[in-house]
Structure 1
């Protein structure tokens, strides 16, 4: 779990220093970090096909399937299910030896959902422990998942209007034709291209959620063209 604690430390540093990380975690992970109870909808958001499969097992009688034909339609014969990495694993201790039947399918679905929603509890706890070394973790429960994600990762979109608020002009003003062309070009960029631009001028790929937290500003300056050295006879 050391790597997850280290990730938590990095996330805590990002919050404390207001230097966002380009980090992509499932929405349910952010909820768990904030101690927000998970629902079936959270699993559906990350694995819709699996949830649909479980629902079809739960309501299989709607398709005319009876106890006699249950195993002809369902390829599972015990309490095993698909994990987040696609492997078939027992969803409860000893699940591989517990038969799945028409009569206990409701319990199977409940157990399968419970397993998937809490599959990474230990990893999330390790991340929270790492964060606790940098920031007061109990305060995370006061945040929404979206708020925490923005504090750690900043804004996913590089907005030109935000950049205009933090730019500095030297020996040129915003009305200059070259400056106008610059902003016009940047606005025509895709977000991926603007991310590359930000990496070039600042070394970062995301902006803090709060504009006031942008301490590093980039500059647009006028540079006089200097002719190269001339060769003397």
Structure 2
């Protein structure tokens, strides 16, 4: 597994009740990106992103012009266009993801009079809003890195697994001149991007480039000498979490 980022702090996995036990054992499920696109389209759940792994460009009515090709070699030029262009590629159907939350020790924690680090109440409130009543698990970044770096990956299904913090963008994540071109590296970069609307999710993501489309699979922990992760009923219980000697 190739990592894009060295993390400091803690990793949280919000899960469903039926998957919380396997997640706590370091068995993580990867889901194809089309699942999240369809979920948002059909159910309008704000936590999902219908533009998952899309190139997105918001038109600038001042500087952009659109040329539309019509039958018979005719064209129509639109000045001062408004709207958003999106572009996806067939290879994105081979992308599967597994999502987590990263809590940065400098940004998301505060020090108490007892010299302990606790999660900021505003951060807990945002997580509670994003993930509602879902249970979760929390690891130190060092233990989590050991788990994922040494995980068993199904080689017959997966070409490679990459990790990194999601970068949040405003309006556009590409230049309009690049909407028709993409490389494998750009595809991975797109997989680690989301709109600013989702920034309170503080997402850290494992991204898999699979050998065939619509692939869901699991990876499994092999190391056994890490600290046992802490489990909690929902985000409000994070008020009880504290760390020391960081």
- Taking structure 1 as the reference length, what is the TM-score of the superposition? 0.23
- Looking at both structures, which has the greater relative contact order when contacts are Cα pairs under 8 Å and sequence separation is at least 6? 2
- Whose helix fraction is larger, Structure 1's or Structure 2's? 1
- Taking structure 2 as the reference length, what is the TM-score of the superposition? 0.23
